[in-house]
A and B are shown apart, each in its own frame.
Chain A
């Protein structure tokens, strides 16, 4: 499926420096990219946009050789290439700068910039004078005042970014990929960065810019490619699109018919109430409540602080201030054990790292939070444990022959069902779901949606964090939007549209400098 590519006449006569032709990539049973095809031209900034998890980062990894495509070709100046490491890609002039640069903290700025290509004197002695000189020139080009002799450990995130870009410029860059370069920068720093990007572009470098901030895409891009649900939607000349049509392309229409909740849900009393919850430097003054039988959605961009709010409520990182009530009792979350006993369960976003113990069996995973309850005189009642696990596995339709199966051998969807079974075995009154359908196949996704709806109709209060907008809209009775650590707005089910939520999430409230 190739989108409607509109090329201006001046582009037509140019030769693309980088062409992606039908790139496909799967991680196990999960498709990450399907048939991505577009061209990048020298001397132009190519904006790459899409929702969280649309597949942008995977695409960058394939271009720079961190991952290998399953199918499709990467053409560099018309010639098919296949990089196996980022070093190979770099040798061909392709450099990526990530949002959290990986530098060596105990080396100086100049050493980091020159790393791997130190200027040398005879006998392999490093020419320190030239190394510092080059670093100084590169940093000056970026308009940065970072001292080349300073240790990287003492620099701010923004300065890290500049060092990383200076490092990129130290070799002959043909294609510069910037992945969310401004997420940690102040507006002034961002502007300085973009000035450098424009200079590079005018000297003929192709730039691929990935950012959530639509105003940056509008200000910087010459071409824009949209990726949605792992597929390439369109590549357009920036002059021919406005923000509204861009958002429309990004959210699109859901590809699969989503499970929708019943129209007339009945809500019980307020179960969870949060007032002015704050965690210094992460989120501020967040207040909301969830009633029994209600699904409250929480939308926002990655890094907006949604998971952190949920984890604070679950007692992982206690809040710096604010109050929390659960079933009319004020509580002070400081420990997951305490919260589970009080009836609040949290399905973590990173299922494989925090949600499940991968090398353990299904049974052991499901019963881990309730082992104490399954024990008499400290001894685990193993027959009761097995019955419980088998019942859970049946009712969540995890398709496994036995509950003695090791979890790491299951597909993403089945793993998620095991995680659900695990948290629901604790009989919670409030359930916080953090990206419950992230990285699972469409069939399991629908089952998860159905499960959430059933739980709500049984009277559970559900807080649903999701970056999948169609899902958020279909499942939620109310939607809270978090942007940069603040609750910016709240929509009722009938008022919310994908465009409205997206606009609210992408707005800049204030720039928190880390």
Chain B
């Protein structure tokens, strides 16, 4: 059974690849422009901001916790960036400050969850509201749009012969970094072992509280980077930035094969599911699906992602039952 789940992860990644191709074919049928290089990179814009959040969330989920406040941290970040820009700071000073603010927001979540042992869903539901409210209070109603061009560079410029958007490069770098962190360092191994059995990890000398707080802090820092990309792409900062994108983020993580209870999953799976969701969303846009329909599709995919391990377990149990009966007979 356990052997099966271990080998099931690469299989799932293969399934995701097939689904991505299928979604691509569907999209290209809808619009003849779909298969151009420009259009493909354009479609990546749909998932870069939630993608950065999903990479952070994947780290948190690997320890068996959750953080639904990440989209609100993006808003805190964009508003902070607007204040810094208005005060005349250069991007080289403002950007690190925004990332640190994101990390601090994440750390607060982590301390409440890990040190005080509070349920992470409740804590981050609370901070989701609190951070969002803070962003509205600090930022003005109308929002801030007078960013200097140096602030927009990260979201508007393209590299490599004016083809690859910088935001895409930021995402790829972050994905490689998180993949290395989670699958090649002792930190990542500690995260997954906590997700599988926090007690045994603690007995084995893993500092459970510290590791969990660090995952939250890293997720917050990635949300800070997402805030920079947001301002770069849209050139505006307001309290409602990235509102409602958490559904996409959680869906990407769960559909990517991260076990919502922790301990299992891969970052490559999360990246693949982001590609899949980005393609589907782009396709739905081309097919003129309304926003509510897109939300329904995402919700169904999320529930499907959560159901997947349960379905696999049920299938395995059925198979064992029948083989037991055969052995008995």
Question: Which residues of chain A have a CB within 8 Å of any CB of chain B?
Answer: 314, 316, 335-337, 339-341, 346, 348, 353-360, 364, 368-369, 371-372, 374-375, 378-380, 406, 408-409, 422, 426
Whether A380 contacts B189 by the Cβ 8 Å rule is: yes
Residue B326, interface by CB 8 Å: no
Smallest CB gap from B199: residue in A: A354
Tell me the minimal C-beta distance from B117 to chain A in angstroms. Answer: 15
Whether A336 contacts B203 in the complex (CB less than 8 A), given A357-B197, A409-B3, comes out as yes
Q: Which of B6, B201, B205 has the most CB of A within 10 A?
A: B205
Q: How far is the CA of A278 from the CA of B240 in the complex (A)?
A: 55
Residue B293, interface by CB 8 Å: no
Q: How far is the CA of A62 from the CA of B202 in the complex (A)?
A: 35
Whether A357 contacts B196 in the complex (CB less than 8 A), given A336-B204, A346-B203, comes out as yes
Q: How far is the CA of A369 from the CA of B189 in the complex (A)?
A: 11
Residue B224, interface by CB 8 Å: no
Q: How far is the CA of A378 from the CA of B202 in the complex (A)?
A: 20
Whether B201 contacts A408 by the Cβ 8 Å rule is: no
- 17 A-B residue contacts at CB 8 Å? A335-B207, A337-B207, A340-B205, A353-B197, A353-B200, A358-B197, A359-B5, A364-B189, A368-B205, A368-B206, A369-B205, A372-B186, A378-B186, A379-B180, A379-B184, A380-B186, A409-B3
Q: Which residues of B contact A348 (CB under 8 A)?
A: 203
Q: How far is the CA of A354 from the CA of B203 in the complex (A)?
A: 6
Residue B150, interface by CB 8 Å: no
Question: Which residues of chain B have a CB within 8 Å of any CB of chain A?
Answer: 2-3, 5-6, 180, 184-187, 189-190, 193, 196-197, 199-207, 263
Whether A371 contacts B196 by the Cβ 8 Å rule is: no
Q: Which residues of B contact A360 (CB under 8 A)?
A: 193, 196
Q: How far is the CA of A360 from the CA of B189 in the complex (A)?
A: 11
Tell me the minimal C-beta distance from A133 to chain B in angstroms. Answer: 41
Whether A380 contacts B2 by the Cβ 8 Å rule is: no
Q: How far is the CA of A353 from the CA of B3 in the complex (A)?
A: 19
Q: Which residues of A contact B200 (CB under 8 A)?
A: 353-357
Q: Which of B201, B202, B204 has the most CB of A within 10 A?
A: B204
Whether A406 contacts B2 by the Cβ 8 Å rule is: yes
Whether A368 contacts B197 by the Cβ 8 Å rule is: no
Q: How far is the CA of A348 from the CA of B199 in the complex (A)?
A: 11
Q: Which residues of A contact B202 (CB under 8 A)?
A: 316, 336
Q: Which residues of B contact A379 (CB under 8 A)?
A: 180, 184-185
3 closest residue pairs by CB, A with B:
A371-B186, A337-B205, A406-B2
Q: How far is the CA of A346 from the CA of B202 in the complex (A)?
A: 12
Question: A408's contact among B2, B203, B263, by CB below 8 Å, is which?
Answer: B2
Q: How far is the CA of A372 from the CA of B202 in the complex (A)?
A: 15
Q: Which residues of A contact B206 (CB under 8 A)?
A: 337, 368
Whether A368 contacts B196 in the complex (CB less than 8 A), given A375-B186, A380-B189, A409-B3, comes out as no
Q: How far is the CA of A379 from the CA of B179 in the complex (A)?
A: 12
Q: Which residues of A contact B186 (CB under 8 A)?
A: 371-372, 374-375, 378, 380
Q: Which residues of B contact A335 (CB under 8 A)?
A: 207
Whether B203 contacts A355 by the Cβ 8 Å rule is: yes
Q: How far is the CA of A13 from the CA of B263 in the complex (A)?
A: 62
Whether A375 contacts B203 in the complex (CB less than 8 A), given A368-B193, A406-B3, A409-B3, comes out as no
Q: Which residues of A contact B197 (CB under 8 A)?
A: 353, 357-358
Whether A406 contacts B189 by the Cβ 8 Å rule is: no
Q: Which residues of A contact B263 (CB under 8 A)?
A: 359
Whether B2 contacts A409 by the Cβ 8 Å rule is: yes
Tell me the minimal C-beta distance from A352 to chain B in angstroms. Answer: 9
Q: Which residues of B contact A371 (CB under 8 A)?
A: 186, 189-190
Q: How far is the CA of A340 from the CA of B202 in the complex (A)?
A: 11
Q: Which of A346, A360, A364 has the most CB of B within 10 A?
A: A360
Tell me the minimal C-beta distance from A368 to chain B in angstroms. Answer: 4
Whether A368 contacts B204 by the Cβ 8 Å rule is: yes
Q: Which residues of B contact A372 (CB under 8 A)?
A: 186
Whether A378 contacts B187 by the Cβ 8 Å rule is: yes
Q: Which residues of A contact B201 (CB under 8 A)?
A: 357, 368
